[in-house]
A and B are shown apart, each in its own frame.
Chain A
Amino acid sequence: MPVKIKMKQDHIDKIKEICKKFNNDGGELINVLHQTQHFIGYLPAEAQELIASELNVSVAHVYGVVSFYSFFTMTPKGEYPISVCMGTACYVRGAERVLDEFKRLLNINVGETTADGKFSLTALRCIGACGLAPVITIGEKVYGRLAPDDVKGIIEEYK
Chain B
Amino acid sequence: MDVNKKQLRIALRNCGFIDPENIDQYIVRDGYMALANVLMQNNPQAAIEVVKKSGLRGRGGGGFPTGLKWELASKNPSDQKYMICNADEGDPGAFMDRSILEGDPHSVIEAMAIGGFCIGATKGLIYIRAEYPLAIKRLEIAIAQAREYGFLGQKILGSDFDFDLELRYGAGAFVCGEETALIHSMEGMRGEPTFKPPFPAQEGYLKKPSNVNNVETFANIPVIFNKGWEWFSSIGTEKSKGTKVFALAGQINNVGLIEVPMGITLREVIFEIGGGIKGGKQFKAVQTGGPSGGCLTEAFLDTPIDYDNLIAAGSMMGSGGMIVMDETSCMPAVARFYLDFTVEESCGKCTPCRIGNKRLCEILDKIIEGKGTMDDLTILKNLSQVIKDTALCGLGQTSPNPILSTIDHFWDEYVAHVTNKKCPAGQCKSMKQYIIDAEQCIGCTACARACPVGAIKGEKKNPHSINQDLCIKCGACYEKCKFNAISII
Closest Cβ–Cβ distance, residue A39 to chain B (whole Å)? 14
A28 to B116, alpha carbons, bound, how many Å?
23
Contact of A71 among B95, B130, B168 (CB under 8 A): B130
Stretch at the interface among A5-13, A30-38, A112-120: A30-38
Map CB proximity to B onto A119-146 as digits: 1 under 8 Å, 0 otherwise: 0000011111011010000000000000
Is B155 at the interface (CB under 8 A from chain A)? Answer: no
Residues of A within 8 A of B347 (CB): 68
| Residues of chain B within 8 A of A71, CB atoms compared | 130-131, 170-172
Whether the Cβ atoms of A89 and B255 lie closer than 8 Å is yes
Contacting pair B188 A65 (CB below 8 A): yes
Which of chain A's residues have a CB closer than 8 A to the CB of B169?
30-31, 34
Query: What's the nearest-Cβ distance from chain A to residue B305, in Å?
Result: 18
Docked-complex contact B93 and A89, CB < 8 angstroms: yes
Residues of A within 8 A of B334 (CB): 92
- Select which of B131, B172, B189, B323 is within 8 A of A88 by beta carbon: B323
Q: How large is the interface on A (under 10, 10 to 19, 20 to 34, 35 or more residues)?
A: 20 to 34
B182 to chain A, nearest CB (A): 12
Interface residues of B in 93-117 (CB under 8 A from A): 93-95, 98-99
- Of the candidate stretches B51-59, B63-71, B243-251, the one touching chain A is B243-251
Which residues from chain A contact B329 at a C-beta distance below 8 Å? 92
**Given A30-B171, A89-B93, A92-B329, residue A68 in contact with residue B323 (CB < 8 A):** no
A90 to B255, CA, bound (A): 12
Within the complex, the shortest CB–CB distance from A120 to chain B, in Å, comes to 16
Q: Is the CB of B93 within 8 A of A126?
A: yes
Determine the distance from Cα of A30 to Cα of B181 in the docked complex, in whole angstroms.
14
A33 touches B249 (CB 8 A): no
Q: Does B287 contact A (CB under 8 A)?
A: yes
**Size of B's binding interface in residues, CB under 8 A:** 40
CB atoms of A92 and B190 under 8 A apart: no
Give the most central of B90, B93, B169, B247: most A CB within 10 Å: B93
Across the interface, do B190 and A125 meet the contact criterion of CB distance under 8 Å? no
Contacts of A89 in B (CB 8 A): 93, 247, 249-250, 255, 323
Which residue of chain B has the shortest Cβ distance to A33 in the bound complex?
B171
Which residues of chain B are within 8 angstroms of A68 by Cβ–Cβ distance? 173, 190-192, 347
Nearest chain A CB to B429 CB, angstrom units? 11
Determine whether B187 belongs to the interface, using a CB cutoff of 8 Å to chain A.
yes
Nearest B residue to A70, CB-CB: B172
Majority-rule SS of A interface residues:
helix
Do A87 and B185 have beta carbons less than 8 Å apart?
no
CB pair B94 A126 closer than 8 Å = yes
Is the CB–CB distance between B171 and A72 below 8 Å?
A: yes
Contact call B93/A87, Cβ cutoff below 8 A: yes
Chain A 54-75 residues near chain B, CB threshold 8 A: 64-65, 68-72
B247 touches A130 (CB 8 A): yes
Interface flag for A91 (CB, 8 Å): yes
With the chains together, A15 CA to B182 CA distance in Å?
26
Q: For residue A27, which residues in chain B have a CB less than 8 angstroms away from its CB?
A: 187-188
Cβ-defined contact, A93 with B251, below 8 A: yes
How far apart are the CA atoms of A29 and B171 in the complex, in Å? 12
* Contact B172–A64 (Cβ < 8 Å): no
- Whether, in the assembled complex, A86 has its beta carbon less than 8 Å from a beta carbon of chain B, the answer is yes
Instruction: Give Cα A147 to B190, complex, Å.
Output: 38
- Interface assignment of B193: CB less than 8 Å from any CB of chain A: no
| Chain B nearest Cβ from A83, distance in angstroms | 10
A71 to B345, CA, bound (A): 12
Q: Which residue from chain A places its CB closest to the CB of B249 in the assembled complex?
A: A89
Quick one: closest B residue to A123, CB to CB?
B344
CB distance from B349 to the nearest CB of A (A): 11
Contact A92 B323 (CB under 8 A): yes
B249 touches A130 (CB 8 A): yes
Proximity bits, A19-57, B CB within 8 Å = 1, else 0 = 000000011111101100000000000000000000000
Residues of B within 8 A of A126 (CB): 91-95
Instruction: State whether the Cβ of B83 lies closer than 8 Å to any Cβ in chain A.
Output: no
> Any chain A CB within 8 A of the CB of B60?
no
Which residue from chain A places its CB closest to the CB of B206 in the assembled complex? A27
Contact B92 A87 (CB under 8 A): yes
**Closest chain A CB from B391 CB (angstroms):** 18
Residue of B nearest to A125 (CB): B92
B325 within 8 A of A: yes
B228 at the interface (CB under 8 A from A): no
Question: B149 near A: Cβ within 8 Å?
Answer: no
Are A30's CB and B185's CB within 8 A? yes
Contacts of A70 in B (CB 8 A): 171-173
Q: Tell me, yes or no, whether B411 is within 8 Å of chain A by CB.
A: no
Smallest CB separation, B395 vs chain A (Å): 14
A88 adjacent to B171 (CB under 8 Å): no
Contact B95 A29 (CB under 8 A): no
Residue of B whose beta carbon sits closest to that of A61 = B189
| Minimal beta-carbon separation of A58 from chain B (angstroms) | 12
CB distance from A7 to the nearest CB of B (A): 22
Q: Which of A30, A33, A34, A88 sits near B93, CB closer than 8 Å?
A: A88
User: Is B231 an interface residue when CB atoms closer than 8 A count as contact?
Assistant: no
Residues of B within 8 A of A26 (CB): 188
Distance in angstroms between the alpha carbons of A28 and B329 in the assembled complex? 45
Give A28 to B190 CA distance when docked, in angstroms: 12
Q: How far is the CA of A33 from the CA of B188 in the complex (A)?
A: 10
Pick 23 A–B contacts, CB within 8 A, sort by A. A30-B168, A30-B188, A31-B168, A33-B171, A64-B190, A65-B190, A69-B170, A69-B173, A70-B172, A71-B171, A88-B250, A88-B321, A89-B93, A92-B249, A92-B334, A93-B251, A124-B131, A125-B90, A128-B98, A130-B93, A130-B249, A131-B249, A133-B249
- Given A30-B168, A89-B250, A125-B90, 5 additional A-B pairs, CB 8 A: A29-B189, A30-B171, A34-B130, A89-B249, A133-B249
Considering the complex of A and B, which 7 residue pairs feature the smallest CB-CB distances, nearest first? A88-B93, A89-B249, A69-B171, A71-B172, A128-B95, A125-B92, A87-B92
